[in-house]
Structure 1
Amino acid sequence: MIEALRTPDERFAAVPDFDFPVRYVDDLPGYEGLRGAYVDAGPAETQRTFLCLHGEPSWSFLYRKMIPVFLKAGARVVAPDLFGFGRSDKPVREADYSFAWHRAYLLALVERLDLRRITLVVQDWGGLLGLTLPVDPGFAARLERLIVMNTALAVGVSPGPGFEAWKTYALSTHDLPVGDIIARGTPQITPAEKAAYDAPYPDATYKAGARVFPALVPVTPEMDGAAVSREAMGFWSGRWTGKSFMAIGDADPVLGPPAMQALRKVIRGCPEPMIIAGGGHFVQEWGEPIARAALESFNAA
């Protein structure tokens, strides 16, 4: 039994510009008793779904500027909060977090919701996990398009000293200042938006996931997630035939243009990226023009 904390609902009462329907699931096989939260907006009967996967230490709130654009296009939007983040339950032991455990949860949620004609929208850990999902044939059959931002496939190689410093800092900082971390690269966010990034964490005991996620990135070939990430490279380079769109925040010191151009070479048919000048790692904070440009690109292709 995994011991977990649940953030009180009142912590989210003042979250701005995020009035989308939130649903919960607590009976997925292997996750019984753990409540996962996800935004589920737009017509459920539509055949096209934007599956928006956040990273670390953010939550689905990061997509608030993109979701309205997708909804206006007539689509359904599903934006889960990973366990340890957002409105989802937060295991208190760092040892309970793993690449495979989170990846399997996303696959199980997609299966439960029976999502079809998926546009996969990913950034940071949303990409580390999400880009591996098509290795599963069931998910690949549901996948139609890709929007990819400031992320990577973690095939067992360290992203470099900047990432290693971040990993060391996160692991050694018990009360990780989540709002400050996100605001550092997104100077345009308001105090209320910064507070929304802190909302999931009443105190440091809720932050095990935020602390440990950097250490879960597969930086050596034998780490959990590295093998499936290598399989995913084969999917994106050889079997992928859908439409892709890439946006890059060029001020990201770790997953900026060099890392993203390397990823672009892996994604078969990926066009030239949209460069967000001055855009930081959490590039969804520039999300409205990105979402509009992605839809225009898909419609023009």
Structure 2
Amino acid sequence: MASYNAAVAGRRKRNEDQLISILDAFEASTDFADLADRTRKDYRRLLIVIEREFGNFPIAALEDRRTRGEFLAWRERLAVKSRRQADYAFAVLARTLSWAYNRGLVPLNPCERPGRLYRASRSENIWSKADEAAFHAAASPHLSLALTLALWTGQRQGDLLQLSWSAYNGETIRLRQNKTKMAIEVPVGAPLKAALQKTLDRYRSDNVPVPETILATERGTAWTEGGFRASWRKACIKAGVKGVTFHDLRGTAVTRLAIAGATVPEIATITGHKLKEVGSILDAHYMSRDRALGQAAIRKLEESNSPK
């Protein structure tokens, strides 16, 4: 044991002037611990990728202007396989170096403001009423409930999969978002309330215990993220729903609230976005090409000009 400890200490001493020491320090930091569980898991995976490529990179070399080019070239190599993952890996490296720079551990962060390789607009990726109806018609009850829950709360998939029945009091759903740690209270609309009651009635009629989580498998167990994604994908194929994902339901909820006349603060209260984020979502991704929004605007204009 003494020999092992000595070897580890020696390794750490040798690595103090290399990037691996910064990667290790960031992973041991409170900033890293404060990340959401899923984000920490993703970061750990990418920190391993970064370590394999740059673990022995000299910290002193970060001041060399050519270093930025080295890091960007690495991102380009990753982009051959996936531009999105290449951007994510580079963002983790940039955040790690930013954390270290703020603490005086590195002389410079050469990864600031690199731009993005992956560009995706979800302006067309909105669940239509036809998509919703087709999914409900083809999907099993437990997946149908997931669709209704997402559309009427605007919450992320991970938060909905963890949502317990104790969070629902018959009128509202309370939760703390895993990513933002924000406490949210969502009033339950009539369609969602009916779906929740139908689910409870089905458990009682089948004489089976009510699961701990609102969204559960046919066996009454909590979903794993991988299991849910696989089942959701199969249900979409069966329903003929194409071009939209579960994650698009959050943006669809924002859009439908806007069409219904909800203000930005009202939408943010329900979904947990920051006010600026709601405005950005509506402006850049969801509102710009939605015909219903234009139609709603004209109807309001007509009503304002009609004789009283």
The TM-score range, normalised by the shorter chain, is under 0.3
Structure with the larger RCO, 1 or 2 (CA within 8 Å, 6+ apart): 1
Q: Higher helix proportion, which one?
A: 2
Structure number with larger C-alpha Rg: 2
